[in-house]
Structure 1
Amino acid sequence: MLVLSRQRDETIMIGDEIEITVVDIRGDKVRLGITAPTRIAVHRKEVYEAIRRENQQAARIAREDVTALGSSISPGPAKLRSESRSRLASAAPPIQTTTARAADGTRFA
């Protein structure tokens, strides 16, 4: 761990993009200002750990939950599926085709 001493309004750089500035010092409290790109998440450690715990808990899906979810989803009746396909096919306008002919009436190959 790197330990640095800074006074009010002094800054620490982390790489080229992150600045940490000592904004205020009152008693045993230090207020820091952090300037970082938006792609870098900046959180207090206790908030970061709470987010991490919630993400881990959300990722732990029990096998029974997945099985229950799968059994609760049922496909529609086959008749309805085939009817919707034929409705989609009939909704499209017919394609007009023509045969090219030469001036004397013979068809082009």
Structure 2
Amino acid sequence: MTHVVTESCIRCRYTDCVDVCPVDCFRAGPNFLIIDPDECIDCAVCVAECPANAIFAEEDVPADQQQFIKINAELTRKWPSITKTVAPLSDADDWKDVKDKLQYLER
């Protein structure tokens, strides 16, 4: 099983989760993070670190967020690994609680 980054991360890209990951399974895109499902060891350490509450165990991904399982798997082949915390996007706090952000995902 793996963990999945969902819609709440879009336009935020907080990286608090990156520093605690023991296997460096996060990948960074322009305005979103994903978890490489082949690298994730399902330790769940990242879940509590996410200020946007965007990370779920695959079996717990909400019904309206299921497409993010595929999105994480797809983008892991395109985006580079991120292993250190960087500043969130400049307007991350404004976007943290916004719903329906999929159209803003930059691939």
- Fold shared by both chains (TM-score > 0.5): no
| TM-score, normalised with respect to structure 1 | 0.18
Larger Rg: 1
| TM-score, normalised with respect to structure 2 | 0.18
Higher relative contact order structure (alpha carbons within 8 Å, sequence separation ≥ 6):
2
